A and B are shown apart, each in its own frame.
Chain A
Amino acid sequence: SQTIHQWPATLVQPVGSPLSLECTVEGTSNPNLYWYRQAAGRGLQLLFYSVGIGQISSEVPQNLSASRPQDRQFILSSKKLLLSDSGFYLCAWSFSSFANTGELFFGEGSRLTVL
């Protein structure tokens, strides 16, 4: 069966420091991968998605970037964190036939606090 792992679960970082959140998927190949930010009372905001190695689409211009160095690895990064980057970040995957299933499988999330 497929599993998704996301880490770290919580992170407290000073303003201006770098960020790296990592997500890996096991038990499937060539998944679509996603980074979302979940804000209380505002639902989920898609930040990045990837349909293959090295292929990243950005939905919202911001201080963050994403990379997919391997088929089942998705990384969310920042060179210099801002206070406004604080939030709850979710990694998710779907089968490449997402258009036919519409189902996303989510990781446990990473709580980022920027001080």
Chain B
Amino acid sequence: AQSVSQHNHHVILSEAASLELGCNYSYGGTVNLFWYVQYPGQHLQLLLKYFSGDPLVKGIKGFEAEFIKSKFSFNLRKPSVQWSDTAEYFCAVIGVDSNYQLIWGAGTKLIIKP
């Protein structure tokens, strides 16, 4: 069965620290990959996505993610975090030959200390 694993449920960083949130998926076929973000008091929104092409994708607010097919990973990165990056981050996957339903990771709560 398809699954998505996010390695850390809670991450606490200081401002200006570098960020990497891990995401691994289990699926044997071609996938589309996503990171969604939920800021405090706001609704879930798309941060970035990968469908094909350059495995390094850039999203909003300076975030990027790299798809490494051999490792079944799609880790989210940001070189220097800000207090406003405090949020919960969800990795999600669609198997393109499945029923096109998103499979979600459990989420990572990121807290940035000012």
Residues of A with C-beta under 8 A to B92: 44
Q: If A41-B9, A49-B101, A59-B101 touch, does A102 touch B34 (CB 8 Å cutoff)?
A: yes
Residues 31-67 (chain A) with a chain B CB within 8 angstroms:
41-46, 49, 59
A49 and B107 alpha carbons, distance in the complex (Å) = 22
Say how far B19's CB is from chain A's closest CB, in angstroms: 20
Chain A interface main SS type: mixed
On chain B, the number of residues with a Cβ less than 8 Å from chain A's Cβ atoms is 22
Given contacts A102-B32, A109-B43, whether A42 and B102 have CB atoms under 8 Å apart is no
Q: Is B106 part of the contact surface with A, judged by Cβ < 8 Å?
A: yes
Which residues of chain A come closer than 8 Å to B94, judged between CB atoms?
102
Report whether A104 and B43 are in contact in the complex, using a CB–CB cutoff of 8 Å.
no
By a CB distance below 8 angstroms, the chain B residues around A98 are 100
Which residues 92-115 of A sit at the B interface, judged by CB distance below 8 A?
92, 98-99, 102-109
Q: How far is the CB of B47 from chain A (nearest CB, A)?
A: 11
Which chain A residue lies CB-closest to B93?
A102
Q: Do the beta carbons of B100 and A99 come within 8 Å of each other?
A: yes
Q: Mark A11-45, 1 if CB is under 8 A from B, else 0.
A: 00000000000000000000000000000011111
Across-interface contacts of A46 in B (CB, < 8 A) = 101-102
Contacts of B84 in A (CB 8 A): none
